[in-house]
Structure 1
Amino acid sequence: MSGVIRGYIRAVDAVNFRVGRVMMYGIFVLMGILLWSSISKTFFLPSLWTLEMAQFVMVAYYILGGPYSIQLGSNVRMDLLYGEWSTRKKAWFDLMTVCFLIFYLCVLLYGAVSSTAYSLGYWGTEPFSFFGGLVTGSEEVGRMERSSTAWRPYLWPIKATMILGMFLMLLQCISELLKDVLRLKGEAI
């Protein structure tokens, strides 16, 4: 069983490491969009798409970079007491708090799936069955949701990015939970 746990940890950590390293460069994409926005407003007609696209890039940047941040332990933590604790006490505390985080991420993931289904024109109450129906061909994409701005982009791509990011975060949190279990057992990770 320990081999399966270690394999899961290695696989999830590797995926989130690679996604996080790619998303690190998203800040340069964001800077480029905002630079173009400033240039176009100063010298040309203002571009309609720049500010909303910058928001979309920022959402992708922090949602897809979040699991990498958790993996590196670079998330914000109250170190007043935590820093002085033993490794075992830290593992117990992390084990309890990551369970709350996993529950919260499950709720967010359900909301993201529902919101994405809505953006694809689904008006029902079973978003997971809608996506299953899309795969099997029993459901069709309806009238897609668009932004209310002048640019009017479709919203499903950023909502699908949110699903991916929350799913990767959930997998990373399960990986951290398993690491804490291994620490409590006294095994090396």
Structure 2
Amino acid sequence: MPAWLRTYVRVVEAVNYRIGRIAMYLLFVMMAILLWSSITKVFSVPALWTLEMAQFTLVAYYLLGAPYSMQLGANVRMDLLYARLSPKKQALWDVFTIFALLFYLGVMLWGAWESTAYSFSINERAPSAWRPPLWPIKLIITFSFFLMILQATVHLIRDIAILRGEELP
């Protein structure tokens, strides 16, 4: 593989690794928010922002962690037949199926970008008592789909390297 592809793989995986490791801690942030919600209910002064903020944190946790999960191979896969294949046949199958994933992620990225731009242009707010602006979470969603596309292309490059008999670190 050319040196620039090796560099691309290293950079994308380093970025997704760091973001994924940081995103892991969002679970603790969400637990703290929900704990605060429970505490305020005891004193009969429920915080209006806790449910939506917990939902936003969960979305960020889930989507920012997705490229990291794909990098580690922890994503869900139908292993009924796939696990019985040799590594080269698995790579060939992945090369075939990655294009469906890239198409799906491309459509999702396009939709997320359009939704984020619209949300930002009209200062869209959630229809709740707290009424937070929605563009920050939509921007995180858009960024997450972009990172997933990058990680999927890295996966494709690794599979092509396996088919060529090369090993990428």
Q: Which deviates more from structure 2 when the two are superposed, residues 36-45 or residues 90-99?
A: 36-45
Match of 1:18?
18
Provide the secondary structure at the position in 1 that maps to 2:152.
Answer: helix
Cα RMSD after superposing both structures = 0.9
**1:49-128 alignment to 2 at 5 Å?**
49-121=49-121
Provide the secondary structure at the position in 1 that maps to 2:153.
Answer: helix
Letter in 2 for 1:118: Y
Q: Gaps spanning 5+ residues in structure 1: where?
A: 122-142
**Distance (whole Å) between structure 2 residues aligned to residue 166 and residue 44 of structure 1:** 40
Q: Which deviates more from structure 2 when the two are superposed, residues 73-82 or residues 60-69?
A: 73-82
Which of 146, 153, 169 aligns to 2:148? It is 169
* CA displacement at 1:100 relative to structure 2: 0.6
Letter in 2 for 1:163: T
* CA displacement at 1:2 relative to structure 2: 1.8
Match of 1:182?
161
Normalised TM-score (structure 2): 0.97
**Distance (whole Å) between structure 2 residues aligned to residue 117 and residue 145 of structure 1:** 10
Match of 1:139?
none
**Distance (whole Å) between structure 2 residues aligned to residue 21 and residue 153 of structure 1:** 27
**Distance (whole Å) between structure 1 residues aligned to residue 91 and residue 41 of structure 2:** 52
Match of 1:39?
39
Which of 114, 123, 139 aligns to 1:144? It is 123
* CA displacement at 1:5 relative to structure 2: 1.1
* CA displacement at 1:185 relative to structure 2: 0.3
**Distance (whole Å) between structure 2 residues aligned to residue 188 and residue 169 of structure 1:** 22
Q: Gaps spanning 5+ residues in structure 2: where?
A: none
**Distance (whole Å) between structure 2 residues aligned to residue 66 and residue 78 of structure 1:** 17
> What is the total number of aligned residue pairs between the two structures?
168
Normalised TM-score (structure 1): 0.87
Provide the secondary structure at the position in 2 that maps to 1:120.
Answer: helix
* CA displacement at 1:120 relative to structure 2: 1.5
**Distance (whole Å) between structure 2 residues aligned to residue 78 and residue 119 of structure 1:** 37
* CA displacement at 1:44 relative to structure 2: 3.3
* CA displacement at 1:171 relative to structure 2: 0.3
**Distance (whole Å) between structure 1 residues aligned to residue 51 and residue 161 of structure 2:** 45
* CA displacement at 1:43 relative to structure 2: 2.2
| CA distances 1:163-182 after superposition (whole Å, capped 9, x unpaired) | 11010011000000000000
